[in-house]
Structure 1
Amino acid sequence: MPGLRGHGGAMEDQGTALEHARVPFRTVLASILGLWICYVILTTLRGELVDLGFTTEAFWRRVLASGAGAVITLGLWLILRLFDARALWVKIGAALILSLPVALLIAQANQLVFASMEQRVFARAAQQRGFYVYRDQSGDLLVDIPASSMPGPPAQNGGGIVTVPAERLQATYWQEVIEVAYGRYFMMLAWCALYLALLTGEKARAAERREQEFRNAARAAELRSLRYQVNPHFLFNTLNSLSALVLTGKIDSAERMIQMLSHFYRRSLANDPTADVPLAEEVALQKLYLDIEAVRFPQRLVAEYAIPAELEDVLVPGMILQPLVENSVKHAVAPSSAPVRITISAREEYGRLVLSVADNGQDAGRSATPRKGFGIGLANVRERLAARFGREATVVSGPLGADAVCGYATHLHLPLIRKAARHPAFHPAQLVEAAK
């Protein structure tokens, strides 16, 4: 069963594609840059609000630190993406654990960038609080502060001024790193949550694409099945006609029918059974079929075609008219002793294509119900149109008028689709000439 194995392999490939759905690099990069740009903007606004000073210098240092943070975050993504195909709880655990060392690296990068201006920021902040800040002969930064502001009991501090090194009032390097890392940790967790949301969205879109591909494959299989139902039925009837010609000694007519049948099948089987064809090509096939039947019914079958030139390039499902034309031959021409006219026509109506197959057979018009045996071919047409166009196509079939004593017609209302470049349009007469 090669076909089944092929479909199974396709399904496995689709499942693998879903498991390995990835967030595009451009999206990841945009999310990282967006995160750090927002950080720069917010911290700059905060610095202006609390009046930290050194606005320009601090801004460029902040940009540099944020650039380092963006690079480190990109490294986090390179590791985190290794867990894309794992369970959600594994991805969450990886984000919680990996964000900790990443936050420490970002904090250290931040401290290195701002280290050279840290004492200046501290001195300015101390002066704003009324403390006297200066450097001694060795260059160490000292601060004169009221003893009452020093930690410890007032009795120990006295009531005067205490001079202390600035380092004593500042946090240690690791204290500052840990304090910054604490905020960066939750910042990284927020980005990881965003990344997981983007990944979930990509997997959802991959699942939608896979579902659509399955629907398309199912629809194509249904169209092929319905389309192939037409060929055996037509071939069975044609072979019966050919047999009758041979038995009655009409060898020339039988030879002509064989030639036209060969041309008919060469043309009808050349196209993809799920593809649309230009209306001119579809009508040409039906004309060839009616010419084949005219060999059988030379005096009774009269065919007419009313196809406007401006509609010849409109696309329709291949051989969609075949069951309708065949039923007209079977139920109107075959049982009649008088000439029967079969008309194939097309018109544009309110931006839609209306295809009609009508005959003036004597058995129609006496009942509002379809002809006996007519429902199979009509059902095939309905199902093919439903598979191809859904609710956009409708089929109306019945006698020609409420008071008619003869005549039957079927009208197909289809979307008007023009795509002339897809199939080369040709005139029905070209196919008829090839059959001669």
Structure 2
Amino acid sequence: MDFRRSSASVGPGSVAPGSVAHVPFPTVLASIVGLWVCYFLLTTLRWDIQEIGFAHEMLWRRAAASAAGIAITLGLWVLLRLFDGRPLWSKIAAALLLSAPAAVLIAQANQLAFADMADRYIERLVEQQGYSAHRSESGEILIEVPGIELDGVADEQPDAAAGEPAGRTSSITFNTSSLQGSSWQQLTEVAFGRYFMMLAWCALYLALVTGEKARAAERREGEFRRAAKAAELRSLRYQVNPHFLFNTLNSLSALVLTGKNQAAERMIQTLSTFYRRSLADDPTADVPLREEFAVQKMYLDIEEVRFPHRLRADYHLPAELENFRVPGMILQPLVENSVKHAVANSSDQITITLSAREEYDRLVVTVADNGPGTQGNDGTSSHAGHGIGLANVRERLEARFGDAASLVCGPTEDGYATILRLPIIDQKEDG
């Protein structure tokens, strides 16, 4: 027999269709901290490789500069997230424009952190090259480069008698300020490097935004699918009760017309209890198997009033399976088919059996009868009427479980049986 294929996507949480997907703050913070931690580690490693010194002095200054970078990048994110719902071109434009002032601020913070180390760093570099350096009266660092020979200067000829060489050496002094450039030039150079660093983070952030939008779309799709499945389950479930009520009222009418008032009163009371219990639950919810058996017992009790000598019910539900969950009223059309096609068409006593067992990690529920029946192997009935029968059960199983559930029905040696194989859902796990 053919089954329609259906699936339900389950997504965490719900997203309003018109809402803007934002990257969670912990993710943003992790990306920013990760960026600056990498910067801190790489610059520290480069400094150690160069063996310039000042390791401890530079370490805490570098940490302070990195902390300032984290704070400024967070400020960049606060502005950039305003464009999360905008088109891609506007996000790119915002990243290009907003990264520039952020880079300048980071460069300024870097200068402040290392301001008192710049001169000491230059002095150390000069010493490593074998030159000498001293400060002028204005506080500028002057570098002396020795070993320059001066020849052909008449008024500075050495005294041979004094043992001086024919030529003499002097030195050229460089002002480090002229070599380093102005503070504005230094700031601009650092800012350009930080600008590309900010652009790299913006690219990462835009990728995170795109990923979050994709996940939000998946969650919305999951919500729509679940809503559609819930509507389908409600529709199918609501088909069961009117059908059952129609048949029961016909039976009740027959009892009243034949003067069986006590039996009619008992049927009305049982019918009231049946509907109070079956309608109290969410039509899309699963119920424990023991409750499903109890509801079917009430239905068969009603039918026993109609067929007092022809209907007998038998129930086999192991205690360990009582909490396994099944769709509510899923057995109702199957039990009703047995009453309609076996009990109503026979003058002998017919036994309808409801049983359950566990088989290969699946729940197997069987509704069987020992009557002659008029159902065919395809599960359809040759009787005309308003029955929805096995088609309803089949559609509900597909809507609830997809390919994970199956329904098999057909004649047996003793009569007719319908077998449901369902995934095991324990009440404790489901709750």
Q: Do these two structures clear the TM 0.5 threshold for a shared fold by scoring above it? A: yes
Match for residue 401 of structure 2? 389
Within-5 A mapping of 1:138-287: 139-145=139-145, 160-287=170-297
Please identify, of 279-288 and 249-258, the stretch whose mean Cα deviation from structure 2 is larger: 249-258
Distance 2:324 2:40 in 1: 59
Match for residue 422 of structure 2? 414
Distance 2:273 2:140 in 1: 104
Q: Which secondary structure state, in structure 2, belongs to the residue aligned with residue 28 of structure 1? A: helix
| Cα displacement (A) at 1:357 | 0.3
Please identify, of 134-143 and 274-283, the stretch whose mean Cα deviation from structure 2 is larger: 134-143
Picking from 319, 323, 327, the partner of 1:309 is 319
Match for residue 4 of structure 2? none
| Cα displacement (A) at 1:364 | 5.5
| Cα displacement (A) at 1:422 | 7.5
Distance 1:371 1:64 in 2: 79
Mapped contact 2:278–2:329 kept (Cα < 8 A): yes
Within-5 A mapping of 1:248-397: 248-363=258-373, 368-370=377-379, 372-373=381-382, 376-397=388-409
Structure 1 residue runs without a partner (length 5+): 1-11, 149-158, 424-436
Mapped contact 1:286–1:321 kept (Cα < 8 A): yes
User: Which one-letter code corresponds to 1:100 in the other structure?
Assistant: A
* TM-score normalised per structure 2: 0.87
Match for residue 87 of structure 1? 87
Distance 1:305 1:388 in 2: 25
Residue by residue, what CA displacement relative to the aligned partner does 1:237-275 show, whole Å, maximum 9, x if unpaired? 111111111222222221211111111111110111111
Match for residue 121 of structure 1? 121
* TM-score normalised per structure 1: 0.86
Does 1:16 pair with 2:25? no
Distance 1:413 1:40 in 2: 60
* Cα pair distance change 1:273/1:104, threshold 3 Å: same
Distance 1:258 1:59 in 2: 87
Higher helix share: 1
Q: Which secondary structure state, in structure 2, belongs to the residue aligned with residue 34 of structure 1? A: helix
Q: Say how many residue pairs are matched.
A: 396
| Cα displacement (A) at 1:67 | 1.0
User: Which one-letter code corresponds to 1:419 in the other structure?
Assistant: Q
Mapped contact 2:106–2:194 kept (Cα < 8 A): yes
* Cα pair distance change 1:53/1:371, threshold 3 Å: closer
| Cα displacement (A) at 1:369 | 4.3
Distance 2:24 2:73 in 1: 16
| Cα displacement (A) at 1:332 | 0.6
Q: Share of identical aligned residues, percent?
A: 65
Distance 1:358 1:164 in 2: 106
Structure 2 residue runs without a partner (length 5+): 1-13, 149-168
Computed over aligned residues only, the root mean square deviation of the Cα atoms, in angstroms, reads 2.2
Distance 2:405 2:103 in 1: 60
User: Which one-letter code corresponds to 1:337 in the other structure?
Assistant: S
Larger Cα-atom Rg:
2
User: Which one-letter code corresponds to 1:15 in the other structure?
Assistant: P
Distance 1:85 1:74 in 2: 19
